[in-house]
Amino acid sequence: MINQDAVEQGRLTRGTAGQLRRAPWAVQPFLAESWLNVLGVAIVVLVLLLAVFGPFIAPQNPNQLNLFAILQPPSVHHWFGTDNLGRDIFSRVIVGTRISVEVAVIILSLSVTFGTALGIVSGMAGGLIDEIVMRITDLFLAFPGFVLAAAIAATLGPSLQHTVLALAVVFWPWYTRLIRGQVLSLREREFVLAARVARAGRVWIATRHLARNVLAILIVQVSLDVGYAILATSSLSFLGLGAQPPTPEWGAIIADGRNYIQTAWWWITFPGLVLALTVLGFNLLGDGLRDWIDPRLRGSFGGMQG
């Protein structure tokens, strides 16, 4: 909420545009700022590499049963041990990386595209359209997001696709609010007025001037939300509302391992550790980026926790 207020008051805009212009490929100053930024970037890069190349480097087929090696503790052959069907948990976790990253990318593409478009329209149109859009987002934000997502996922029937859809439905209003606030303050800035004086069309202004200037804040928000999207997906899978067995999704792997908690501690421990580190990496990156782009926002963490 605090973040939202700051954004809507347009406090973000001043620092953002300037930073973005010199930012994109100059990673070094960002890394030099704090070792936590280095840690975040390192984890994110590793996760992305695993997502792309995971299926090629996984030592075994993630769904390969091996009844001679069930419930083996971690060893040289099975780094994370094996499950009750003798599947190699390390391979399952590696392959699961792609699922989690893919899911997060789809959720965020859907909600960012829809939310941003609606936010720009709402901010530029004003009046009745703005009022209607804002009341609809209020309706969504009045609801603890995770609970709504769980209800939608359950209604549609448990599957990974439905979880993705449910989370996208919950995520978009945050982007609409964020972008609308930005547009409202950008609208009054000189370069937009200048464009208007030059008789630029609305679509031109929206795509050339507004969309580019909200990019920096959008990048920050997305990098914070990737972690949350991954976390929410695996939580729903853990509850049985998302990915179904034998899909090697992290939450689903842990849900399976729960029944063997007395005998096979490794089964829940390692997949969870990888999940936690992944989310930590994205959060560190997003948090560092936000501080770097606008130090005044330091401390106001994230958007849609819950």
Partner 1 sequence: MGTVIARRLAFMVFVLWGVTLVTFFLSRVVPGDPARLMAGPEASQSAVEHLRRIYGLNDPLIVQYGRYMRDLIHGNLGFSFVTRRNVRTDIATFLPATIELAGCALVVGFVLALVIGTAAAYRRGTATDAAGRLTAIAGLSLPVFWLALLLQLLFHTKLGWLPLGGRLDPGMTPPPHLTGLLTVDSLLTGHFATFVNAVEHLVLPVAVLAAGVYGLMVRIMRTSVLDSLSEEYVRTAQAKGLSRWRVLRRHVLRNAMLPAVTVLGLEFGLLAAGVFVVESVFQWPGIGNYAFQAIQANDYNATIGATLVIAVIYVVINLIVDICYLYLDPRIRYT
Binding site for partner 1 (CB under 8 A): 1-2, 34-36, 135, 138-139, 142-148, 150-152, 154-155, 157, 227, 231, 234-235, 238-240, 251, 254, 258, 261-262, 265, 268-269, 272, 275-276, 279-280, 283-284, 287, 298-302, 304-306
In this structure, what are the phi and psi dihedrals at residue 82, rounded to the nearest 5 degrees? -130, 165
Between 88 and 287, CB nearer to partner 1: 287
Between 72 and 137, CB nearer to partner 1: 137
- CB distance 81 to 266 below 8 Å: yes
Between 186 and 275, CB nearer to partner 1: 275
| Least separation in angstroms between CB 241 and partner 1 | 8
Report the amino acid identity of residue 109: S
For 32, residues 6+ apart whose C-beta sits below 8 A from its C-beta are none
Handedness of CA 123, 127, 133, 135 (dihedral sign): positive
Q: Collapsing DSSP states into helix, strand and coil, what is residue 248?
A: coil
| Least separation in angstroms between CB 175 and partner 1 | 17
| Least separation in angstroms between CB 101 and partner 1 | 16
Between 265 and 292, CB nearer to partner 1: 265
Residues in the chain: 306
Spatial distance between the Cα atoms of 166 and 160, rounded to a whole number of angstroms: 10
| Least separation in angstroms between CB 273 and partner 1 | 8
Joined tokens for residue 281: 């990496």
Between 181 and 205, CB nearer to partner 1: 181
| Least separation in angstroms between CB 193 and partner 1 | 22
In this structure, what are the phi and psi dihedrals at residue 88, rounded to the nearest 5 degrees? -80, 115
| Least separation in angstroms between CB 258 and partner 1 | 6
Joined tokens for residue 99: 């699922």
Joined tokens for residue 286: 């997003």
Residue 171's closest CA among 133, 226, 129? Answer: 226
- CB distance 166 to 156 below 8 Å: yes
Between 54 and 227, CB nearer to partner 1: 227
Spatial distance between the Cα atoms of 26 and 216, rounded to a whole number of angstroms: 14
Spatial distance between the Cα atoms of 7 and 19, rounded to a whole number of angstroms: 17
| Least separation in angstroms between CB 250 and partner 1 | 8
End-to-end Cα separation, the chain, in angstroms: 12
Between 158 and 246, CB nearer to partner 1: 158
| Least separation in angstroms between CB 157 and partner 1 | 8
Joined tokens for residue 83: 């499950």
Between 142 and 198, CB nearer to partner 1: 142
| Least separation in angstroms between CB 301 and partner 1 | 6
Between 123 and 272, CB nearer to partner 1: 272
Spatial distance between the Cα atoms of 46 and 39, rounded to a whole number of angstroms: 11
